């Protein structure tokens, strides 16, 4: 294998693909590498952790077709450190030679045969979609930003590490929950899945997708029986789907709320930012005392101190105090659209709902913290 290209072209391809590569010391050493393949003037760079594969395709000056797998971190760091200009890589049986200007290095290659095959999408009889769907990245990016944060990072409950994508009234709905909060975003009119069909996509893959979206204008989606692919200009992200039943999230959402608070988004964000500084860790709750014209936010940490701040508000309902994990509350408020945010509650022990006023497309359900 032999090719040359501009340093920036190679660096971008390596940096994107190696995000799917695993750290060293994993069970399959070859997964700490990136696979480089040259075919004509095309270079394909792929990283994979078996669940997620990112493959970048780019234009280079190829002189000899072939494949080699190089340690992802090392080759990316070398390329990053090079001066701008042409880089060439040439590989033989078990070594790759990288040169640029007066720099030369030889890297021991990882066994290319061990590298997992980039899965081709399987569409069996139960295949979820036929063909592919294009989505506008603006909407998708915003939806991911709103929903992915609510997915769990706890591998003990794999189902909750996924984001549910489901067909809903002719549109696409994204749902994620870590069992403490739940985020739902509707993308009306985006027919990605057949009516009534749903898939569970690992949130890690969607977080990677989110990183890549700003540099493209369109994303192409395709779902197979066990995996999904997202095609962006020159980058293909393939992820295994999570098997299993997502919790029945609909029954979690209460049908009506007796208490409704409306407050300026920036004001409450500022107040939260300040009172939160006296929370020793994420588990110190912030209390909201809900009253007709103002609400009071407060944090008490027994051996550190306490802080409180009042914020003007419109509140209809019973006066009460409800407490939340400050991080989860900030996440929910931050995810809403619009200048005002509403908080609807039943009581201090049941789920509360956060929405941007005037937007029906996003909903954030949050369980309170019980305080004594």
Partner 1 sequence: MNAFYASVEVIEDPSLAAKPLIVGGSGDRGVVASCSYEARAYGIHSAMPSAQARRLCPQAVFVHGDHARYSEYSRRIHDVFASFTPLVEGVALDEAYLDVSGARLLFGPGPRIADAVRRRVRDEVGLDSAVGVATTKLIAKLASKAAKPRATLRALDPGPGVVVVEPGAELDFLHPLGVSALPGVGPGTRSRLERFGVITVGDLAAIPLDTLTASLGPSLGRHLHELARAHDDRRVEPERAVKSVGHEETYARDLVDADDLRREVVRLSDAVSARLRSSGLAGRTVTVKVRFHDHATITRSHTGPYPLDTGPELARAASSLLERVDSCSGVRLLGVSVSGLAAGASRQLSLDWVEQGRAAAGPGWAQASRAVDEVRSRFGEGAVGPAALLDERGIRVRRTGDQQWGPSDDTRQGKS
**In the complex, which residues of this chain contact partner 1 (CB under 8 A)?**
154, 156, 177-182, 247-248, 251-252, 282-285, 302, 323, 325, 349-351, 365, 367-372
Instruction: Report the first-to-last Cα separation within the chain, whole angstroms.
Output: 67
CA distance 106 to 71: 12
The enclosing H or E element of 2 equals strand 2-6
Give the span between the Cα atoms of 124 and 227, in whole angstroms.
12
Nearer to partner 1 (CB atom), residue 67 or residue 367 = 367
In the complex, minimum distance from the CB of residue 114 to partner 1, in angstroms, rounded to a whole number:
24
Q: How far apart are CA 286 and CA 274, in angstroms?
A: 11
Looking at beta carbons only, is 27 or 372 nearer to partner 1?
372
For residue 353 the two structure tokens come to 């709902």
Q: Token pair 């979820």 is at which residue?
A: 128
Q: Which is nearer to partner 1, 104 or 153 (CB)?
A: 153
Pairwise CA distance, residues 321 & 227, whole Å: 45
Min dist CB 353 to partner 1, Å, is: 12
The answer to whether the Cα torsion of 163, 166, 168, 171 is positive or negative is positive
- Pairing of the two strands 2-6 and 95-100: unpaired
Residue number, 108 or 370, with CB nearest to partner 1: 370
Least Å distance, CB 184 to partner 1, is 13
CB of residue 345 to partner 1, shortest distance in Å: 13
Residue number with CB closer to partner 1 (79 or 284): 284
Q: Shortest Cβ distance from residue 282 to partner 1 (Å)?
A: 8
């Amino acid at each position: 294998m032999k090719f040359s290209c501009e340093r920036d072209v190679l660096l971008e391809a390596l940096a994107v693909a190696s995000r799917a590569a695993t750290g060293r010391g994993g069970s399959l050493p070859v997964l700490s590498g990136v696979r480089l393949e040259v075919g004509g003037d095309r270079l394909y760079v792929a990283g994979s952790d078996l669940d997620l594969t990112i493959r970048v395709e780019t234009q280079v000056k190829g002189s000899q077709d072939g494949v080699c797998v190089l340690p992802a971190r090392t080759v990316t760091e070398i390329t990053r450190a090079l001066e701008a200009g042409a880089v060439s890589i040439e590989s033989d049986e078990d070594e790759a030679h990288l040169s640029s200007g007066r720099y030369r290095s030889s890297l021991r290659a990882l066994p290319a045969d061990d590298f997992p095959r980039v899965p081709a999408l399987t569409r069996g009889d139960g295949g979820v979609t036929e063909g592919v769907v294009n989505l506008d990245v603006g909407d998708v990016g915003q939806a991911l930003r709103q929903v992915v944060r609510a997915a769990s990072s706890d591998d003990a409950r794999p189902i909750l590490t996924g984001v549910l994508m489901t067909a809903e009234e002719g549109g696409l709905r994204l749902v994620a929950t870590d069992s403490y909060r739940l985020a739902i975003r509707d993308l009306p009119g985006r027919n990605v899945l057949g009516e009534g069909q749903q898939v569970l996509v690992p949130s890690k893959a969607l977080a990677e997708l989110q990183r890549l979206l700003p540099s493209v204008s369109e994303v192409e989606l395709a779902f197979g029986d066990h995996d999904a692919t997202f095609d962006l200009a020159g980058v293909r992200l393939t992820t295994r789907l999570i098997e299993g039943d997502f919790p029945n999230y609909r029954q979690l959402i209460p049908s009506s709320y007796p208490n409704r608070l409306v407050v300026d988004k920036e004001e409450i964000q500022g107040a939260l930012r300040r009172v939160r500084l006296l929370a020793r860790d994420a588990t110190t709750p912030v209390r909201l005392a809900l009253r007709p014209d103002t609400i009071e936010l407060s944090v008490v940490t027994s051996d550190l101190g306490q802080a409180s701040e009042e914020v003007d508000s419109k509140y209809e309902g019973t006066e009460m105090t409800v407490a939340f994990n400050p991080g989860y509350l900030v996440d929910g408020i931050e995810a809403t659209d619009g200048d005002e945010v509403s908080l609807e509650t039943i009581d201090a022990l049941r789920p509360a709902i956060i929405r941007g006023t005037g937007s029906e497309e996003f909903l954030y359900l949050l369980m309170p913290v019980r305080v004594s």
